[in-house]
A and B are shown apart, each in its own frame.
Chain A
Amino acid sequence: MATDRSSFDTSSRSATLRSFAQEMKAARRAGWGNPWGYAFIAPALVLYLIFNVWPIIRGFLMAFTDYRFLYPDTRWDFHGLTNFIEMFSDDNFWEALVISLRYTITVVPIALSLALVLAIFIARTNRLSGFYRWIVYLPTILPIAVTLLMFKQFYSNKFGFINVNLRDLGWARPPDWLSSVKYALTAVGIADIWRGIGFPTILFLVGIYGINSELFEAASIDGATRWQQLWKITLPMLRPTITLVLVLNSSILGATEQMMMMTNGGPQNSTLTAGLYLYRLAFQQGDLRLGYASAVSLTLGLISSLITLFWFRMLREK
């Protein structure tokens, strides 16, 4: 039976898929084996099948139905691609999608480059590095509701830290960040970057610590400056980590909770992201159109998969 051969240290999904095919073959050849094994995995498997696998299947099917939650009979009303056709002419959806994309392609690169720079600096230090890591990861530990509501107060026009201090510094009428069409999305983005920077920083750090230190020693003996070492050793060696981090961050497209708590889509729908739009469709508006919302959601999922695929292709090792 194939055991330790299937190593999971593979950095790409295709390698995992390849070993999956090999396992299938190996399993067909072997007998049923130790029955206790099935008993041990049963609880985990049952939970997983009910609460994870089924929703994936059902969510996919639901996208092709006109299921409205308030009308339970419509549960299995399949009507082909009607949802997707409706979506194409749904201006609200397109506007929300554009906002989401704009939000994602500004927030993610900024957060990740900041994280990379922070990780490089932290990796330089010996003393206090544990302390730095602790602080950097702290915002990620905080419950998302706490962070977002805290930033809402932080930005508040009347009593918020930013505007009170700006007024003290002499700017008589600073913008009301979260209520201005011009700044609201940026303001939420900053809060999101604050919250999201810790995880990629730690991943980058783990990556940097994993680079063989002899490489750096050899380079500095050969007279390479720190700057050269950064470009010629650290960054190329971090390629798998960078891919991983980009892949993990391609799902930000929704940005549902952020907008829900800080702006509720306003002002004038300027922060109505696709995630919030679909949440409202499914759970807050009219007949609770779970079917149509699933179609929107499936489309968003496809877009994030495309982004993921794009990053895999871009950063594939040659």
Chain B
Amino acid sequence: MSTARARQSSRHPSAWPRFRRWARQEALGAHFVLFFVLLIILIPLLWLIGTTFKDNIEFASNPGNVIPTRFSLVNYKYMLTAVENLPVYMKNSFFVAFGTVALQVFVCSLAGYAFARMEFRFRDVIFLSILISMFIPRSGGLMALYELMTFLKLRNNLIGLILLFGAGIPVPLFIMRQSFMAVPKEIEEAARIDGASWFRVFARIALPIASGGMIVIATMSFVSVWSDFLVTFTMIDRDSQMTISIGIQKILASSYEMALSPRFRGQFAGEAADATALLFAAIPVVTLYAVLQRWFMRGLAEGAVKF
């Protein structure tokens, strides 16, 4: 659009300054720079996506093309029909991610409400202790967690992972407390005077108004749990309990054998199948991110900047 406008305006002698003013106002230079930077950022991803559509011959002849010269769905067919572990890993990932979200939203909205509205001894001491403890380096934590989880018989256990991830409460708790403090006090007090119990006020009045905060912490914990590698890798080594984030390496290792097995012999290249597996592992979080972008940005702003 900008070039068309520039061409049109160059016919009139007085138009050039006007174009310059417009370009300045619209920050054309900034758009120009950003366009190139973002293209560089996107190249690895676009190449990955392009690779998923290459069959064996296409991959062997044009491995470096971002856009394949002919499209094939063989990698997808292979992933969806022949990789038995993929649905298992995906199911485990969804289980752990949704479980953690549910647990975290539940405990943090209860506690956040108490910290925002109720008066009890040591309230602020406890809250500040939780916040401050965030700054203590977690090193040594992984070794101690390994011992703890072994002791509790929670290694190789998805419920164990949910409890472990669900316990990462400082930031979500802080966000929930902020959301509840933004709810007008008068409504709640009126309900209390009318004889509603604390739990009723919390569940029927405060919670619906503070639901924005719940969405924020839910998205944040979903993404971080889905993506976690190190903790999950340490706690899980049984194949049936692996999440996609750690199981993906196993899928990548097996695709080379499958490329030679009778059913798919010579149809796809191991590397292209790997790219497809990686894409599958990323799709859920990217979809969530695309749908809920607003909440992500709010979460980032609230979670980090307010300290």
B258 at the interface (CB under 8 A from A): no
Indicate if the CB atoms of A199 and B133 lie closer than 8 Å. no
User: Does A241 lie within 8 Å of B282, measured CB to CB?
Assistant: no
Within 8 A of A (CB), among B118-159: 118-126, 128-133, 135-148
Beta-carbon contact of B107 and A43 below 8 Å:
yes
Residues 109-149 of chain A, each 1 if its beta carbon lies under 8 Å from chain B, else 0: 00000000010011011111010111111110111111001
A56 and B63 contact, CB distance less than 8 A: no
Give chain B residues whose Cβ lies under 8 Å from the Cβ of A151. 44
A13 interface residue per 8 A CB criterion: yes
Let me know if A8 and B174 touch, CB within 8 A.
Answer: yes
B34 touches A122 (CB 8 A): yes
**Residues of B with C-beta under 8 A to A254:** 139
Distance from A18 Cβ to chain B, minimum over Cβ atoms (Å):
11
Q: Does B37 contact A (CB under 8 A)?
A: yes
Chain-B contact segment, one of A30-38, A87-95, A98-106, A181-189 = A30-38
Alpha-carbon distance between A135 and B35 when the two chains are bound, in angstroms: 11
- Which chain B residues border A180 with CB–CB below 8 Å? none
By the criterion of a CB under 8 Å from any partner CB, how many residues of chain B are at the interface? 101
* B144 x A304 contact (CB < 8 A): no
Interface segment out of the listed A153-161, A211-219, A265-273: A153-161
CB proximity of A212 to chain B, nearest CB, Å = 16
Most B-side CB within 10 Å, residue of A51, A118, A279: A51
Interface string of A181-211 (1 = CB under 8 A from B): 0000000000000100101001100110010
Partner of A293, one of B44, B143, B281, B304: B143
**A134 and B293: CB pair below 8 A?**
yes
Interface of B is mostly: helix
Task: Establish whether residues B64 and A164, one from each chain, have CB atoms under 8 Å apart when the complex forms.
Answer: yes
Distance (Å) between the CB of B204 and the closest chain A CB? 15
Q: Contact between A283 and B289 (Cβ–Cβ < 8 Å)?
A: no
Tell me which residues across on chain A come within 8 A of B119, comparing CB atoms.
1, 3, 33-34, 37
Q: Chain A interface secondary structure, helix, strand, loop or mixed?
A: helix
Q: How far is the CB of A128 from chain B (nearest CB, A)?
A: 7
Query: Does any Cβ of B come within 8 Å of A224's Cβ?
Result: no
B255 to chain A minimum Cβ distance, whole angstroms, is: 12
**B138 close to A56 (CB less than 8 A):** yes
Q: Which of A3, A34, A125 makes the CB contact (< 8 A) with B34?
A: A125
Q: Which segment, of B14-22, B164-172, B260-268, faces chain A?
A: B164-172
Measured between beta carbons, the chain B residues less than 8 angstroms from A134 are 290, 293
B43 within 8 A of A: yes
Write the chain B residue with the least CB distance to A38: B120
B31, B223, B226: which has the most chain A beta carbons within 10 Å?
B31
> Is the pair A41, B124 in contact by a Cβ cutoff of 8 Å?
no
Contact with B along A259-277 (1 / 0, CB 8 A): 0010000000000000000
Chain B residue with Cβ nearest A240: B305
Please state if B248 and A6 are interface contacts (CB–CB under 8 Å). no
Extra 7 A-B pairs, beta carbons < 8 Å, given A44-B107, A154-B47: A30-B121, A48-B130, A56-B133, A62-B143, A125-B26, A150-B45, A161-B64
- Write 19 A-B pairs (CB below 8 A) sorted by A numbering: A16-B131, A23-B128, A36-B198, A47-B163, A59-B144, A62-B143, A125-B26, A125-B34, A133-B297, A134-B290, A137-B289, A138-B289, A143-B229, A146-B245, A161-B66, A203-B305, A261-B249, A301-B139, A302-B137
User: Which residues of B come within 8 Å of A, CB atoms?
Assistant: 26-27, 30-31, 33-34, 37-38, 41-45, 47-48, 51, 59, 63-64, 66, 103, 106-108, 110-111, 113-115, 118-126, 128-133, 135-148, 163-164, 166-169, 173-174, 198-199, 202, 223, 226-227, 229-230, 234, 244-246, 248-249, 252, 269, 271, 274-275, 278, 281-282, 285-286, 289-290, 293, 296-297, 300-301, 304-307
The 7 A-B pairs of least Cβ separation, nearest first, read: A59-B140, A164-B64, A301-B137, A37-B120, A51-B167, A301-B139, A33-B120
The chain A residues found within 8 Å of chain B, CB to CB, are 1-3, 6, 8-11, 13, 16-17, 19-20, 23-24, 26-27, 30-38, 40-41, 43-45, 47-48, 50-60, 62-63, 67, 69, 75, 118, 121-122, 124-128, 130, 132-139, 141-146, 149-151, 153-154, 156, 158-161, 164-165, 168, 194, 197, 199, 202-203, 206-207, 210, 241, 244, 248, 251, 254, 256-257, 261, 279, 282-283, 290, 293-294, 297-298, 300-302, 304-305
